[in-house]
Structure 1
Amino acid sequence: MHRLAQFDVSRQFQTRRGKKAAQYGFGVMCAGAMIGVRTTVDLIAPSSGPFALIYPTVLLATLYGHLRAGVTAAILTFLWAWYFVLPAPSSFTFTNPTDPGRVVLNAVCCLIVMCFAEAFRRAAHGSLKEIQRSADRRLTLLAELEHRTKNNFALVASMLEFQKRRLSDITLHRPIDDAVGRIRTFADAYSNLAYEQAEHSDVEMELYLDALMNRLEKAAVPSHVRLYREIEPVTLPRETAVAIGLYLNEALSNCLKYAFPDGRSGTIGVFFHVTEGEWRLTVDDNGVGHGAVSDGSGGLGTSLMAAFAQQAGGTHEAAPIVGGFRASLSSSRVAATDTATAR
């Protein structure tokens, strides 16, 4: 219905002459269609309601072919009905003394329908153009905001790097490096979505998560650690996708930091599965069995992952497993189902 409301027979033509030709042609087509239907009706009920089918014909011609199409269809169908349907057939003469008044009344009513249809068409198209202009302005402002946000992330990271160089105590460098890494993680996920999903409110998770892991693999994963992935295709709202991406970054960073000390080799598995519309992100490693912090008691990493889970509208769980550690983020319905099954 939305597409039908935007239909315009002359929109695809660039020149004024082409648009006019399309509109007149559409009016002739509408008139021909009405004449065909009216001829069929005459086989059952000859001369009944001679002008009845003119009204919907003029309405459709005007709505989708502008006023020119409406006028063309009105003239052709009106003259045809007067000449071939109204008694006496095949003549413009009247056999009934009341027919002249009826013809004039129908002509006036047809003119009213045509005028209102054209007014409605212009109002509807004007509203659509205004909506499009407003959407374009919003997209421009959003692009500017995203650009400034990305620059602000980079500025904060640079300020922290500058502050680190001024510190003489080397033991303070690691917390600052962690903070810089997280800020760059936020900026990376944010700019990726701003670039790849600029025209969409939803995000293809398979492409997004795969690209995110490719960048992290090139930048931070050492050669003795293998990053395995298994991602199912699904489309999620942009806000949810951002939160899942940040959660995955934090989980992978924690694995790389704590799971494989002293050059120990191992594998990190990332699984994003979808079941009946519900999703689950799981990050497993076969390392030493510690997650967010080395003592397993929780810390900034755990707090950030819990915050990202809340932003995604999901549930976060992290615990040692046989032969490693697992962190998972699942949509609430999945978590509730698993809890009920466990009981």
Structure 2
Amino acid sequence: MAAPTTTYTEEPALSLAMAVVAASPGPLLLLDGDLNIVAASASFSDVFDIAAGSAPGRQLSRLGAGEWDIPQLRSLLGATISGAAKIEAYEVDLRRPGRDTRRLVVHAQRLVYPDLENLRILMAVSDVTDARADEKLKDEALRQNLVLLQEVRHRVANSLQIIASVLLHNAKRTQSEETRGHLKDAHQRVMSIAALERHLVGSSDGTVEANAYFTKLCDSIAASMIGDSNQLSLTVTGAGGAVDAQVSVSLGLIVTELVINALKHAFPDGRPGKIIVYSEFRGPNWTLSVTDDGVGMPTDPEHIQLGLGTSIVQALAKQLEASVQVGPGHPGTRVAITRTKVALVEDHPAPAPDKPPVERPAA
């Protein structure tokens, strides 16, 4: 038995489309190939103050007081009719005489009916004026907060600089070598935070470039603690990378402690040498190390003392979920702080040390 032949007609399809448009909770228009309005949802009339039932049969460009006669929109709808394009999230301003301009987002797509010659376009319109205004207010509030934060950081850096200067001045005046050493150590700890705050003043996204930060920090330490740069050198190397500002605070303190520790213990009796600060940051994984070519670690456990510097480094590393490894630098000593949260394919595991590391006395 032959299958029945199905005949498509305009009337049922159009009636269905008009019913869908009329029932739409959002502003919706059904247009024909000449951009005449075939049907409009009640919400369209409500949102754009068009008299109910007055839209069908009128040209889109003559709707209202003529505010819908927008050349760019008309051109895009023409391209949609030809099948060359469809409108997706096109933003346009609706300017109505005597009223505030509204920001609209338009979606339009040609409807395809089997065996029908009449073209139809379904056009959805959203008024996003209030949403855009809210976004603008939020952006402005964020901008103001950033400006305020930068000002606070600038003032904090200045205050820390003053505190560091007072500490260094008192260190020069005291007669006690032990007190002078403690004051100088405190001076460098304050300077490390001040250096970070200086970097944060110029940081707009809450991150700090590691090598630039460590370089400035080490330059400050060298200026106050290394008398002859030809005798002792302090350099920063490695791939570096961007690091979160909050994390960089702890890293700066770690570098300060390790560098001061090396300067105090690795080069006795005017011994020449060099200290290298190395860093590499790859997302959640990073490595920070301080290596010197000094006298190395004491081999007698009885001569090993745990000082404030060691405690600070260990505490900071624990907060950062990182591990601390202390070992020989061949020559000298190498202290590495490593954080590994995600295994990378290209990473190669470091060879295990031949002997367990021994810590040097800390500042």
Identity of aligned residues (%): 24
Do the aligned partners of 2:241 and 2:282 also contact (CA within 8 Å) in 1? no
Residue 209 of structure 1: how far off its partner (Å): 2.6
Deviations 1:194-244 (A, max 9, x none): 2332x1122222333334334444443332123344311422211122222
Question: In structure 2, do the counterparts of structure 1 residues 228 and 154 end up closer, same or farther at CA, with 3 Å as the change threshold?
Answer: closer
SS at match of 1:65: strand
Distance 1:248 1:25, change over 3 A: farther
Q: Equivalent residue for 1:184?
A: 191
Q: Note the aligned Cα RMSD (angstroms).
A: 4.3
Residues 325 and 29 of structure 1, relative CA distance in 2, 3 Å threshold: same
**Cα 1:217–1:25, aligned 2, differ >3 Å: closer, same or farther?**
farther
- Please say if 1:268 is aligned against 2:295: no
| SS class of match (1:66) | strand
Alignment of 1:42-81 (within 5 A): 60=89, 64-68=91-95
Note the alpha carbon deviations across 1:168-188, whole angstroms, 9 max, x for none: 655432222222232223222
Measure the CA separation in 2 of the matches of 1:340 and 1:231. 17
Indicate whether 1:31 and 2:74 are aligned: yes
Matches within 5 A, 1:1-343: 27-40=70-83, 60=89, 64-68=91-95, 114=125, 117-118=126-127, 121-160=128-167, 169=176, 171-191=178-198, 193-197=199-203, 199-221=204-226, 222=228, 223-274=230-281, 278-290=285-297, 295-333=303-341, 342=352
8 Å Cα contact 1:229/1:271 also seen in 2: yes
Deviation at 1:272, TM superposition (A): 1.8
For residues 90-137 of structure 1, give each alpha carbon's deviation from its aligned partner in whole angstroms, at most 9, with x where no partner exists: xxxxxxxxxxxxxxxx9xx97xx65xx23xx21121111111122122
Q: Secondary structure at the match of 1:269?
A: strand
Q: 1:214 to 1:231 in 2, by over 3 A?
A: farther
Secondary structure in structure 1 of the residue aligned to 2:92: helix
Q: Going by fraction, where is strand more abundant, 1 or 2? A: 2
In structure 1, what is the Cα distance between the partners aligned to 2:164 and 2:219?
22
User: How far 1:281 moved relative to its partner?
Assistant: 1.1
Q: Which blocks of at least 5 consecutive residues in structure 1 are unaligned?
A: 1-23, 42-52, 78-84, 90-105
Quote how far apart the aligned CAs of 1:328 are: 1.0
Q: What residue identity is the alignment partner of 2:251?
A: I
Query: Aligned residue pairs: how many?
Result: 264
1:275 and 1:146 mapped to 2: Cα distance?
Answer: 27
Instruction: Give CA-to-partner distance per residue, 1:23-67, whole Å, 9 cap, x none.
Output: x999312212222331459xxxxxxxxxxx9xx86x955xx1111
Q: Distance in 2 between matches of 1:26 and 1:225?
A: 76
Task: Tell me the equivalent position of 2:63.
Answer: none
Deviation, 1:329, is: 0.9
Quick one: which amino acid aligns to residue 246 of structure 1?
A: L
Contact 1:231 1:271 in 2 (8 A): yes
1:153/1:187 contact within 8 Å kept? yes
Q: Is the 8 A contact 1:239 1:312 kept in 2?
A: no
Mapped partners of 1:214, 1:158: distance in 2: 16
Query: Aligned partners of 2:348 and 2:89: how far apart in 1?
Result: 56
Query: Shift of residue 321 of structure 1?
Result: 4.6
Query: Do 1:240 and 1:313's aligned partners in 2 also have CA atoms closer than 8 Å?
Result: no
Q: Cα distance, 1:326 vs. partner? A: 1.3
Whole-angstrom distance in 1 between the partners of 2:173 and 2:274: 37
Look up the equivalent residue of 1:270 and give its one-letter code. Answer: V
- What's the offset of the Cα at 1:159? 4.9
User: For 2:71 and 2:239, how far apart are their aligned partners in 1?
Assistant: 53
Query: Hey, what's the Cα distance between the residues in 2 that align with 1:227 and 1:188?
Result: 17
